[in-house]
A and B are shown apart, each in its own frame.
Chain A
């Protein structure tokens, strides 16, 4: 009854005042206490069920985003500390090999114990793939560090299985252990060649020609193998640009080896530890 009469009033009001009114004015006219309550009661049920549903989504999104943040942080820590391992390996020279590599090995272990263990606590079940983007940079850097260390230690490639085996003891035995996936391993390996190139140039300047040549062989082989794998990768865009960089590294090492070869080995004893840079410059110029 009440609503009926009020609406009749409204319609009259609209017709009279419509042309000049702005929306805000209309609302004021239309608003009456009773109507307000009636309307509230009627829309309450659908509105609140929608709110209930959305609060579930909000919880889900909050939890998931927080988790992602934590994973990103761990990934950064892994990157930072893996870089330190790489720097440590680069400190290697003719007469401190054992000492330098021992420390690098320990640092690498610390990365696993301190940071990978944290990563594994966060990732369970389908999270490995769901959050891959969040942790992939760190894992790639770790792969780079682990393979770099292993090559300098034994001259061999640290395989994915070997890396994954070292990660198994870190996770809760009741859960499926975190395993680095092929894609991250390959991406990490692609970065390894850059470090090996630096190492090769450094070794040549230090007179360790044979070591440099071994690096050269190894890097060529990796490049060749990766070339075959790249087109089969899921998102090969990243990888394609890495392949370009890798080829440049291979060529730089080859040029360095070439210049040592043509200039003859008689230069080497003269250089020794006194003037490594002059020879290095000579090698780097050849392109």
Chain B
């Protein structure tokens, strides 16, 4: 019996020894990931700080120019993340949580920048392209992309308010049309009761705030150029 016990404990110890080694390796990998994620976080902050100048009525092309420079850095950091993850094929989602929220913030900044530039929504594939990602090896999660877009929507009411204060009375209509379309598009999704759902639910408050600003501007006849195409959209909402 005693001999048997000895054998048992030996193979048991060996297994747990190997578990410890494996878990330590995974912890080391996580350390590496965290270091890159911190870089991503600070680059995103710089972009955000740059983009915040639009609230102070700095000319948009100038603001975007500066922010764009930082995208190169982001691309590089994501490249490094992809390299780290190459070491453990198939385990993308084991570590995905470590860069999820930072990536959502990245998407929200990129999408805001893209909207300022073109007035259109940055779609998922465009966002991946900007970050140099491809969905085969190291992609941008659809859920993260969508959450990032919701974050962007949260920033728009403030932008509208400040633009109007600065005398840009056409802005509310533009933003309202965009948000109305975006909100309608989001309603096509069958969301689970998760974080994304919560963020989406908050989007309607952004839309309502923008509508209020539009109403305030419009009712005082401040909108120039007539033909307000946003009217239909507002009616659709109410």
Please list the residues of chain A having a beta carbon within 8 angstroms of any beta carbon in chain B.
3-4, 6-8, 10-11, 14-15, 18, 21, 23-24, 26-27, 30-31, 35-36, 38-40, 42-43, 46-47, 49-51, 53-58, 60-62, 65, 125-126, 128-130, 132, 155-157, 159-161, 176, 182, 186, 214, 217-218, 221-222, 225-226, 228-229, 232-234
Q: Is the CB of B181 within 8 A of A46?
A: yes
Q: Are B177 and A61 in contact (CB under 8 A)?
A: no
Contact-residue bracket for chain B: 35 or more
Query: Which residue in chain A gives the minimum CB-CB distance to B119?
Result: A46
Contact of B12 among A21, A61, A221 (CB under 8 A): A221
Answer whether A30 and B90 are a contact pair too, CB < 8 Å, given A21-B219, A221-B12, A232-B20: no
CB contacts (< 8 Å) of A23 on chain B: these are: 211, 215, 234, 238
A interface: dominant SS: helix
The answer, among A26, A155, A159, A182, for a CB contact under 8 Å with B23, is A182
CB distance from A156 to the nearest CB of B (A): 5
Distance of A229 Cα from B145 Cα, bound (Å) = 36
Contact between A229 and B19 (Cβ–Cβ < 8 Å)?
A: yes
Say whether B23 contacts A233, CB under 8 Å: yes
Chain B nearest CB: distance from A275 CB in Å? 29
Report how far A160 CA is from B182 CA in the complex, Å. Answer: 48
B201 beta carbon closer than 8 Å to chain A: no
5 contacts between A and B (CB under 8 A): A49-B123, A53-B185, A54-B189, A155-B4, A229-B16
12 further A-B pairs in the complex, CB-CB below 8 A; given A125-B90, A222-B12:
A4-B226, A7-B225, A14-B218, A15-B221, A36-B232, A38-B229, A46-B121, A49-B120, A53-B124, A57-B124, A160-B15, A232-B27
Please measure, in the bound complex, the distance between the C-alpha atom of A234 and the C-alpha atom of B93, giving whole angstroms. Answer: 13
Q: Is B129 an interface residue (CB 8 A)?
A: no
Shortest beta-carbon distance, A255 to chain B, in Å?
Answer: 22
On whether the beta carbons of A8 and B226 are closer than 8 Å, the reply is yes
Docked-complex contact A61 and B191, CB < 8 angstroms: yes
Given contacts A23-B215, A50-B185, A228-B20, contact A14 B90 (CB under 8 A): no
Report the bound CA distance from A206 to B93 in whole Å.
48
Q: Kindly report which residue of chain B lies nearest to residue A230, judged by CB atoms.
A: B23
Q: Which residue of A lies closest to B91 (CB)?
A: A129
B5 on the interface (CB 8 Å rule)? yes
Asked if B15 and A186 sit within 8 Å, CB to CB, the answer is no
- Separation in Å of the B89 CB from the closest CB of chain A? 9
Residue B13 CB within 8 A of the other chain: yes
Across the interface, do A43 and B19 meet the contact criterion of CB distance under 8 Å?
no
A217 to B6, CA, bound (A): 11
Residues from chain A with Cβ under 8 Å of B192 in the complex: 65
Minimal beta-carbon separation of B41 from chain A (angstroms): 21
Q: Is B205 at the interface (CB under 8 A from chain A)?
A: no
Is the Cβ of B12 less than 8 Å from the Cβ of A157?
Answer: yes
Knowing A4-B226, A61-B191, A155-B8 are in contact, say whether A53-B231 is a contact too (CB < 8 A). Answer: no
Chain B residues near A27 (CB-CB < 8 A): 231-232, 234-235
B146 touches A57 (CB 8 A): yes
Question: Which of chain A's residues have a CB closer than 8 A to the CB of B93?
Answer: 126, 129-130, 132
Interchain residue pairs A-B with the least CB separation, the first 5: A7-B226, A129-B93, A232-B23, A130-B93, A39-B229
Q: Are A221 and B124 in contact (CB under 8 A)?
A: no
Contacts of A43 in B (CB 8 A): 177, 181, 229
In-complex Cβ contact of B226 among A3, A26, A36, A214 (8 A): A3
User: Which of B179-199 touch A at CB < 8 Å?
Assistant: 181-182, 184-186, 188-192
Chain B hits for A51, CB < 8 A: 184-185, 188
B84 to chain A, nearest CB (A): 15
Interface residues of B in 216-238 (CB under 8 A from A): 218-221, 225-229, 231-232, 234-235, 238
Report whether B228 and A30 are in contact in the complex, using a CB–CB cutoff of 8 Å: yes
- List, in ascending order, chain B residues with CB within 8 A of A31's CB: 231-232, 235
* Cβ B19 vs Cβ A182 within 8 A: yes
Residues of B near A159 (CB, < 8 A) are 11, 15
- Taken together as a complex, chains A and B put the C-alpha atoms of A128 and B94 apart, in Å, by 9
Are B4's CB and A26's CB within 8 A?
no
Contact residues of B between 147 and 202, Cβ < 8 Å to A: 177, 181-182, 184-186, 188-192
> Quick check: A39 and B232 within 8 Å, CB to CB?
yes
Query: Are A14 and B219 in touch, CB under 8 angstroms?
Result: yes
- CB neighbours (8 Å) of B143 from chain A are 61
* Contact for A61 among B15, B123, B189, B234, CB less than 8 A: B189
Residue of A nearest to B214 (CB): A23
Q: What residues on B are CB-neighbors of A61 within 8 Å?
A: 142-143, 189-191
B61-117, CB < 8 A from A: 90-94, 96
A230 to chain B, nearest CB (A): 10
Task: Please report the C-alpha to C-alpha distance between residue A31 and residue B177 in the assembled complex, in whole angstroms.
Answer: 16
